[in-house]
Structures are given as C-alpha cells and as structure tokens.
Amino acid sequence: MEGSRSTNLDTQKQRILNHIKMNGPSMPIRISTSLGIDSIIVSAFLSELVSDKELKISKMRVGNSPLYYFAGQEFLLDKFANYLDAREKEAFELLKKHGVLEDAQQPPVIRVALRSIGDFALPFEKDKRIYWRFLKMPMQEALNFVEKEIEGITPAFKPPVILSPRIKEDKQLNIFDKELKEIEKIKVEPISKPIKAKPIISVKEKKKIKGKSDFVYMIEGFLDENDFEIVRGVISKKKEYTAIIRKKGGDGTKGYLCIAKDKKSITDKDLMKFLEEGKKDKLSVFVISTGEPSKKAQEWLDYLGGFIKFEVLG
C-alpha cells in the first residue's frame, strides 16, 4: 500500500515535468487544468521541484502566479513579456532592441524597471560600470559590444532628447525630465543587497497582552521551550498563530514559517495551503496542531519529508 501511494505521487510529479518539458514555461493553473490534477497539489509539487532544483521559477508574474520552467527554457519567457507593467515593458523593449544598456546612461525610471525584470535583464560590470544585457545576448558578445563602445567603434545608446520651446535651442531636456524630479526621490535598489536579520522577539520578555488567547500563549511557550526564536509574528488569533521562527543561536539564514492551529484534525488541503504560504516567503513550514493529521495528510507528510514538519501538542 505504501509503495502504491509513493508510485502514484511519483507518477503525478512526472506528468507535471513532462507537461513543462513539452509546453515550456507554465503556470500552476494551466498545468492543473491540462492534467486534471488539483491546483493545490500541483503547487505543492512545483514548490518541491524548485526546492530540489529540478525546475526554475520566474521573477515575473502572470496575474499573481509565477512561471515554472526547466533550465534552458529561459529564452521562451519573452512570449510572456506582455504581462509586464508599462515601465517594465518599456525597459524590456529598449533592452531587447539594443542588446546592451549602460546603467548610468538610463533615466531613473528605466534603471528601476531594469532591476525589476530579472528574467530578461542580466547585469554585469566592465571597468567599474554597470551594464545590462538582454537574456538572448551571449555574455561574450555583450562584452565585445562594450569594448567597442569604449574604443568609440560602437556608439553607446542614450535616451532620446527633445528641445523645449521655452528655452534656447542649445539647451536640451531629457524626455523623462518631468518624471525624473519625482523618481529621483526613490531609492534605487542595488543589484545585490545583503539580507539583514529582523529583530528577535523574546518570548520570556513578553508581558501578557489583554485579549491574547491561552492557545497563543501555549504555542509561544512551546517554541521557547524547544529553543525557537520568533523572528517576526504574522498572525495571532484565538485559535491560530503564524510566525517566522528559527533555532536559537542560528546564523539567521535558516528559518521556518510556523503555522499553529487549534483544530481537531489537519487535512491534506490544509497542508497544501500551508505549503503555498511557505512558498511566498521561500521557507519550509513547521505545523503545530492540537489535533492529528488526517490519513491523507499523513501520506503527504511521509512523502514530503523535511519540506514540512508537523508537531502535535500533547
């Protein structure tokens, strides 16, 4: 029986992989509709496949959903470029047309947008200057382009300019000047930014807050006794509690999305929902419940292994 369940789950997973292999970058809902598999289960499988590095996930969203694809299918993502917002689409078209853009030469609105379209705009440095190359342009070709530009062989692309009728003709204004005044106030994110650990909330130092349920106090006590720190509280209600947690003394890089429920039984649909929530923060899920998992839920727990932890409060 156990082997049969495992075989069935592996079969479903392989069907999902085959679908993406044949159709290219895909959304969970499309896979679910095409294969007749529950969308929550599809999402759980996709999360696992990304975690196992069998699939990649796009930075762009089609509606509220990312795209899942195999390494090597990146070049097929541009057919979804029409889902980018107006500024991102403008940056995409500009980069696609010119192949390489020097960051400092672009208006702030385009610089911000380039940082938002990581599926298509790939950053690199040359002589301490930041450039962006289009996904389909090979790195060596981009470097050759920049070297020719530096030598004056290839003119660098600069944003279009217009003449203002209100001033002398020898004074040129950038076409984006109106927006520049507003957007220059915006802090442009660097290409890579170190993650700072959020302040720790000590359970022992907390005073009893009026209205906080006994269940919430019980969960926080359980976490403290088992050497977990609460990095960030998310939801605190009478019969449920959600927080980002990590082991005390850790380096801050490993954490869990802790979801606690005062519930008689946790179902497989509950688990799929929890996995979807964990996926948003790219965290494994630690479920704590006053009730046992259902039979189907236990099958999923056995299958997913370390991807989701489950603890029943005694």
Q: Which pLDDT score, from 0 to 100, does residue 287 have?
A: 92
How many domains does the chain divide into? 3
Q: How far apart are CA 69 and CA 91, in angstroms?
A: 23
- Picking from 80, 107, 135, the residue at the C-terminal end of a domain is 80
Helix (H, G, I), strand (E, B) or coil at 132: strand
pLDDT of residue 124: 93
Do 284 and 257 touch, CB atoms closer than 8 A? Answer: yes
Share of residues in the chain with pLDDT > 70 (%) = 75
CB–CB of 288/259 below 8 Å? yes
| Position 193 in a domain | no
Comparing 8 with 104, the larger pLDDT belongs to: 104
Per the prediction, the chain carries an average pLDDT of: 78
Local confidence band at 127 (pLDDT 50, 70, 90 cut-offs):
confident
For 136, the token pair is 């389909």
Domain end point (choices 54, 80, 106): 80
Among 19-33, 133-147, 150-164, the range scoring the smallest mean pLDDT is 150-164
Same domain, 64 and 99: no
Shared domain for 92 and 157, answered yes or no, is yes
Whether 99 is in a domain gets the answer yes
CATH of the domain at 37: 1.10.10.10
Residue 218 lies inside a defined structural domain of this protein: yes
Domain boundary among 80, 99, 125: 80
* Helix (H) or strand (E) segment spanning residue 10: helix 2-23
Would you say residue 93 has pLDDT above 90?
yes
pLDDT at 138: 92
Residue 191 lies in a domain: no
| pLDDT tens digit sequence for 238-275 | 888 998 988 887 655 568 899 999 999 998 888 888 88
| Residue 308 near residue 258, CB atoms below 8 Å | no
Average pLDDT over residues 83-89: 91
Residues 243 and 179 in one domain: no
**Domain presence at residue 261:** yes
Q: Are residues 118 and 52 in the same domain?
A: no
DSSP bridge pairs for 259 = 242, 287
Let me know whether 294 and 262 are in one domain.
Answer: yes
In a domain, 47, yes or no: yes
Looking at the fold, whether 100 and 167 belong to one and the same domain comes out as yes
Residue 196 forms part of a structural domain = no
pTM above 0.75, yes or no: no
Residue 115 domain boundaries: 84-183
Span 184-225, pLDDT tens digits: 444 434 333 333 444 444 444 444 445 578 888 888 888 888
